[in-house]
């Protein structure tokens, strides 16, 4: 039985789906089991990182666990306690979702966000794997509202290209790491097949929608204010704008072959992701 935390989220929900499809027994953790939409046959349990007893019960009897512990840059470290709970429950194999750029000092505040969790998992005594994916293709779902309202796509990262990755491919790498000790002690950086910028992503989306899309460049000195105006806290805006500066300067253009190396097939392109999610952008 494999425990999946963050089971209702972008990556965790895909990990649940892919494991269930392969006939693996899955226990999905959420703070709100009644609201969770998960595949038939999947055990759903209540668990909250801020309630250690609930996590001890959730991990009980697991052969492996997928850990999505750092859920918001607005909160402090939730990873370390989560990893301790998995370790204390004796889960022998742990896979942690981290992020690309961890440890790269040029990234600013994001650099250290996953560090306590990476350290804790590598010292946990379990067979561990860390995934540091690039920017998710699904981040562009935030463009759906402006696009549907006829407004421009906001561009906070200029022509900075990123190895945009399909969440299904991140999940596929996680699934392999959850099912075999072959990946123990490895840090993978799942990326898409090419580095692309926001204007290039918008062009792909525009072609799929069959209509032009305007892209509005937000100058770096206005990014922070734009985020606060959109309802984000000052702390979030500060960290996120440092991340945007890093991308804008070409810091996140890394493309790896890790998806193919681990899963045996090429990563999906951004165009593949758009094709399968086009309905989200149409009225």
- Measured between its terminal Cα atoms, the distance across the chain in Å is 41
State which residue, 32 or 76, has the beta carbon closest to ligand NAP: 32
CB 27 within 8 A of CB 45: yes
CB 245 within 8 A of CB 115: no
State which residue, 30 or 129, has the beta carbon closest to ligand NAP: 30
Distance (Å, rounded) from C-alpha 128 to C-alpha 229? 40
State which residue, 7 or 26, has the beta carbon closest to ligand NAP: 7
State which residue, 127 or 137, has the beta carbon closest to ligand NAP: 137
Least distance (Å) between residue 8 CB and ligand NAP: 4
With 0-12 CB in 10 A as exposed, 13-18 as middle and 19+ as buried, what is 64?
buried
Distance (Å, rounded) from C-alpha 89 to C-alpha 86? 5
Question: What Rg value do the Cα atoms of the chain yield, rounded?
Answer: 19
State which residue, 15 or 210, has the beta carbon closest to ligand NAP: 15
Q: What would the two tokens of residue 95 be? A: 């896979």
Q: Residue 4: what are its φ and ψ, rounded to 5°?
A: -115, 115
Q: Give the nearest residue (CB) to ligand NAP.
A: 9
Least distance (Å) between residue 269 CB and ligand NAP: 16
Least distance (Å) between residue 44 CB and ligand NAP: 10
CB 268 within 8 A of CB 166: yes
State which residue, 181 or 233, has the beta carbon closest to ligand NAP: 233
Least distance (Å) between residue 115 CB and ligand NAP: 12
What is the contact surface with ligand NAP in residues (CB under 6 A)?
6-12, 30-32, 47-50, 68, 70-71, 97, 99-100, 133, 135-136, 139
Distance (Å, rounded) from C-alpha 212 to C-alpha 268? 24
Least distance (Å) between residue 150 CB and ligand NAP: 26
Is the Cα torsion angle 54, 74, 161, 278 positive or negative in sign? positive
Least distance (Å) between residue 30 CB and ligand NAP: 3
């Amino acid at each position: 039985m494999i425990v999946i935390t963050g089971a209702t989220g972008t990556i965790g929900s895909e990990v649940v789906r892919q494991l269930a499809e392969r006939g693996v027994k899955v226990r999905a953790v959420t703070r709100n089991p009644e609201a969770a939409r998960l595949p038939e046959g999947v055990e759903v349990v209540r668990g909250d990182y801020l309630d250690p007893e609930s996590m001890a019960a959730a991990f009980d009897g697991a052969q492996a666990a997928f850990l999505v512990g750092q859920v918001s840059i607005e909160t402090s470290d939730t990873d370390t306690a989560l990893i301790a709970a998995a370790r204390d429950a004796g889960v022998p194999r742990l896979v942690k979702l981290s992020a690309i750029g961890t440890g790269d000092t040029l990234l600013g505040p994001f650099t250290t966000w996953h560090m306590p969790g990476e350290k804790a998992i590598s010292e946990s005594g379990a067979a561990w794997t860390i995934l540091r994916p690039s920017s998710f293709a699904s981040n562009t779902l935030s463009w759906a509202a402006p696009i549907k309202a006829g407004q421009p796509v906001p561009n906070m990262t200029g022509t900075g290209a990123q190895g945009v990755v399909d969440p299904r491919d991140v999940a596929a790498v996680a699934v392999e790491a959850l099912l075999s000790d072959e990946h123990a002690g490895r840090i993978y950086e799942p990326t898409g097949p090419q580095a692309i910028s926001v204007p290039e992503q918008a062009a792909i989306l525009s072609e799929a929608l069959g209509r032009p899309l305007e892209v509005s460049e937000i100058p770096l000195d206005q990014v922070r204010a734009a985020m606060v105006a959109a309802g984000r806290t000052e702390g979030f805006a500060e960290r996120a704008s440092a991340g945007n500066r890093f991308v804008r300067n070409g810091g996140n253009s890394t493309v790896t072959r890790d998806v193919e190396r681990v899963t045996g097939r090429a990563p999906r392109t951004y165009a593949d992701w758009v094709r399968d999610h086009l309905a989200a952008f149409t009225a």
